[in-house]
Homo-oligomer: A and B are copies of this chain.
Amino acid sequence: MSKAHFNTITLIGIGLIGSSLARVIRREGLAERIVISTRSEATLARARELGLGDAYTIDGAEAVNDADLVIISVPVGSSGAVARQIAASLKPGAIVTDVGSTKSSVIAQMQPELPDNVHFIPGHPLAGTEYSGPDAGFAELFTNRWCILTPLEGTDPDALARLRAFWEACGSRLDTMDPVHHDRVLAIVSHLPHLIAYNIVGTASDLEEVTNSEVIKYSASGFRDFTRLAASDPTMWRDVCLHNKDAILEMLARFSEDLASLQRSVRWGDGEALFDLFTRTRAVRRGIIDAGQEIDAPDFGRQKINPS
């Protein structure tokens, strides 16, 4: 039996990430049994209708009592509550991991609650779409995307190897990182972009002279690109902001400084400064395409999918 295989995997939370995991676990045969638990009766019922698991329960404690791998996919503000709920029922030797976008806060919330005889290995698959809920998941979500593990001191190497193998079997590329560094990296590559996107969509909606219907109608000239991130799950993103505050505030400060400088270039007609910035940013996209993290089709390939 491969390292990536577990007898029972329990998924706590069955939104976009949880339900994508359920689908890829099934497709790849990574568990004998998938147990699904979530707080909402309606969501649990939907997961059952979709046939995502083998057993379903609202009760987190009951859900984990036979689990060899527990994956917690809930908004990061709920991590502590979930840990408290399941702690006493965990099987000795079980691996407990999460998928949260902030790591220091999740560790601070969960580590004190969990017993010493389980392997708690925090994780974060860098994958998602702007859709949420059990219907939004798909088995290919993790394909070729990075998954960052932030193991704590003294983590059992064998448990770590099993979790790595699991994510690799889901299609991910694996990295390990210090949790504090993770939070700073994510603040710039993910949290700041989402905040900026939410902000510009808010600014555009609030104009008096340009109507919302004009914003919508003419959005293909740039604006619409931001609306995708700004359509992401509000609960998840509220929690990210509250739980990675320091790193986000630092990145926001840097962004605002740079924006003030750019604004000055516009005001004073400094074409050279504008041209320099606009040239150097081009290279970054090329790097992302070359790294296989983006397609090179123009316009995200949208025109190919639906030109009319």
Contact = CB atoms under 8 A, between A and B. Distances in A.
A245 interface: yes
Tell which of A221, A226, A252 has the most Cβ of chain B within 10 Å: A221
A302 B299 contact: no
A41 interface: no
Contact of A255 (B200, B210, B284): B200
A269 interface: yes
Given A185-B210, A210-B185, A281 B230 contact: yes
A304 to B, nearest CB: 7
A146 B225 CA distance: 17
Contact of A242 (B239, B271, B288): B271
Given A126-B221, A278-B198, A263 B249 contact: yes
A220 B258 contact: no
A271 B76 CA distance: 13
Contacts of A228: 225, 285, 299-300
Interface string A202-238: 1111110110101111111111111111111011011
Contacts of A304: 305
Contacts of A259: 196, 199, 252, 256
A59 interface: no
Contact of A202 (B145, B185, B234, B277): B277
- The A contact surface, by secondary structure, is helix
B126 A204 contact: no
Contacts of A255: 199-200, 203
A254 interface: yes
A284 B216 contact: yes
Contacts of A286: 231
A200 B196 CA distance: 9
Contact of A193 (B145, B222, B284): B222
B221 A307 contact: no
Tell which of A220, A222, A277 has the most Cβ of chain B within 10 Å: A222
Interface in A282-308: 282, 284-288, 291-295, 297-308
Ranked nearest first, the 4 interchain pairs of A and B with the lowest CB-CB distance are A129-B298, A234-B278, A193-B222, A190-B221
